[in-house]
Amino acid sequence: MAPDILPDSPWRVVPVRWIEDLRDAVRGAGLRATQMSRGSLSSGLAFAEEDGVLYTSGRLGARVAMSGPLSLDKVTIGIGLRLPSGTWHWHREVTSGNLGLFLPGDEHHSLYMPDSLYVSATMDPGRLEAEAAWEDRVLDHPRVSGSGVHPRMAPAGITAAIAHTFDLLHEPGAPVRPEDLAQALRLMRRMAAVFYGREPRVVSTAAKQGAHARIFSQARRYIEEHLDAPIPVEALAAAASTSRRSLHRAFLSMVGETPQAYVRRLRLHRFRYDLAAEAEASCTVTMAATRWGMGEFGRIAGRYRELFGELPSETLARRRRRILAQTA
């Protein structure tokens, strides 16, 4: 059957009729699935990909065993939203609210009971570190050094709320809202950050400076590569594998201004270069401003004069006079 595409959402839902369809019980895993009960599987899978994270949800209507690594090069976080008695992972019984960590290449073995419901997120290891940083935490390396089930349980109310949303996703024609799915995934990522992260330890001034330099270096590289496009603070923090708060502190420490102010400063310099460069002889003020995504020209002109001591039109006029003098 063709997948059901959810409008205004990255999610698509795929009915599962045959046991081999469960190779994608986590998208792209190629799992070995064994049907342990007779009759129809009456199951479904749902997939989405956002910001480099691959999400999978499964609702299983039969008793099924699965084994194999979930990814060869990425880490997967999974949460059991509804796991009836008798469900196990790595030969250990698990229940609703259990979180599991699956490292790249690690074998996993599981047995699911009918009416099981789960959701997983597969991502680069650096993204998991960034998720922790967004909650002002750092990864607890003993917790993430091996695959397994976390000893803590997710709060029952949060688990139930996420389960309700994904039940609607799997139910044909049910009124699931894209914003509810997005909220459910945010809750899941936050739980992963809390469960697998810890409060950062107090560090020395030198260590802080080193961390700030690393954050600033990674963020600056991202800015330079994307200067002609919108640069949301969230994307910049993700590129630097840090939280928005730590990103802000790093920029204040390294250059004495906020990330947004630094981006504006670099764009003003690229804008000035286009106005002053002889190679850009046909460039106008409007063309240069548009190239670097600089709207509200009155405000731009004021910032430009404050930084360079002249208006953009004056820079352009000097370039034209210079070109005329060379051709006279």
Provide the whole-model pTM: 0.66
Question: Over 60: is that where the pLDDT of 203 sits?
Answer: no
pLDDT at position 1, please? 46
pLDDT at position 173, please? 81
User: Over the stretch 39-86, which tens digit does the pLDDT of each residue have?
Assistant: 888 899 999 998 889 999 999 999 999 999 999 999 999 999 999 999
User: Over the stretch 272-285, which tens digit does the pLDDT of each residue have?
Assistant: 888 888 666 677 88
> CATH fold of 4-198, please?
Jelly Rolls (2.60.120)
User: Over the stretch 210-256, which tens digit does the pLDDT of each residue have?
Assistant: 888 999 999 999 999 999 888 988 899 989 988 888 898 899 888 88
- Mean pLDDT of all residues in 104-112: 94
Question: Over 50: is that where the pLDDT of 296 sits?
Answer: yes
Q: ∠ CA(310), CA(313), CA(316), 5° rounding?
A: 100
pLDDT at position 2, please? 47
> What's domain 262-327's architecture?
Orthogonal Bundle (1.10)
**CB-based contacts of 95, cutoff 8 Å, min separation 6:** 80, 83, 85, 87, 153
